[in-house]
Chains A and B, each alone.
Chain A
Amino acid sequence: MAKRKSDVGTLYKGSPGQWSWMAHRITGVAVILFLFAHVIDTAVVGWGPNAYNRVTAVYHNWVVRLLELGLVAAVLYHAINGVKIMILDFWPSTARHFKVLSILTSAVFVLSMVPIVWIMGRDILDLAFRWNL
């Protein structure tokens, strides 16, 4: 028997855009939860250099730096996918090219992440293993 393909995508018969919709949600929630913490850690600057420098010392840890790379990726994905959403919402006729738009979105995201992973990854490897790339 031939493999039956869903007419609306691969995941539990999710509609086109299901994956990006999910990723948009997850990255959005991740970023706002980080923002809650980030407003507080930045606000500590108002309590002087001793307090603030102790807080920013947290960022000298490579695990935290890895999370930071994830944060940058989340912000970028949310931003680039957000542009796709706006194009589709404000010019509905572009929905005919939904697949092209989705591939373009992913391509722009992945390509922009390449130099970022290289730049931030070097620091992470240096902190974790003293590798000087």
Chain B
Amino acid sequence: MAARTDTRIAPEQPPPSPRGVLGYRAGRERPAGGWELWTWLFMRISGIVLLFLAVGHVLIMHVGGEGVSRVNFAFVATRWSSPFWRTWDWALLSLALLHGINGLRVVVQDYVRPVAWRFAVNMLFYVVGFVLFVLGTVVVFTFAPSRWPGVAR
């Protein structure tokens, strides 16, 4: 009897807060452990690297110089004559795809509830990401402007 009364007069528990224990919701709540914790950490570490790779890329290619108006075959041929820029672009390709596809996975987790649909949408993004990674990697490392002599010095 006492126990029953207790449960009846017990103060209502506040609903679980969507903003987590810290009182804000700036990013994703840190997962407790396992695979999700590793992807959470990967997002932050790749984020720091992309801060330089992606922001640098955007400032150099889209804002600095004459922006994209100077970009053509000869421009890429000159730029990729340096292994430094090939490595930069390949690292940017790999990290941006991994960071972006994992971001999409987190977004899909929130908005696509039916299990089969969620699997299908995720698979679509994984396949697209993998194909683009292979395509980009092959082009970055096999590009040889000498196959079109006279176009780029």
CB-CB under 8 A from A82, the residues of chain B are 47, 51
CB-CB under 8 A from A14, the residues of chain B are 25
CB-CB under 8 A from A29, the residues of chain B are 103-104, 107
B7-39 interface bits toward A, Cβ cutoff 8 Å, 1 = contact, 0 = none? 000000000011100111111001000000000
Determine the main DSSP class of A at the interface with B. helix
| A88 at interface, CB cutoff 8 A | yes
CB-CB under 8 A from A39, the residues of chain B are 93, 97, 132, 135-136
| A2 at interface, CB cutoff 8 A | no
Most buried by A among B25, B51, B96: B25
Q: Is the CB of B143 within 8 A of A84?
A: no
Docked CA distance A53–B67 (Å): 15
CB-CB under 8 A from B97, the residues of chain A are 35, 39
Contacts A28-B100, A79-B55, A82-B51; is A89 near B30 (CB within 8 Å)? yes
A1-33 interface bits toward B, Cβ cutoff 8 Å, 1 = contact, 0 = none? 000000010000011111011001100110110
Q: Is the CB of A20 within 8 A of B26?
A: yes
Docked CA distance A25–B25 (Å): 12
Docked CA distance A35–B133 (Å): 11
A contact residues vs B (CB 8 Å cutoff): 8, 14-18, 20-21, 24-25, 28-29, 31-32, 35-36, 39-40, 42-43, 45-46, 48-49, 52-53, 56, 59-60, 65, 68, 71-72, 75-76, 79, 81-86, 88-90, 92, 95, 98, 116, 119-120, 123
B contact residues vs A (CB 8 Å cutoff): 17-19, 22-27, 30, 44, 47-48, 50-51, 54-55, 58, 62-63, 66-69, 71-74, 76, 93, 96-97, 100-101, 103-104, 107, 128, 132, 135-136, 138-139, 142-143, 147-148, 151-152
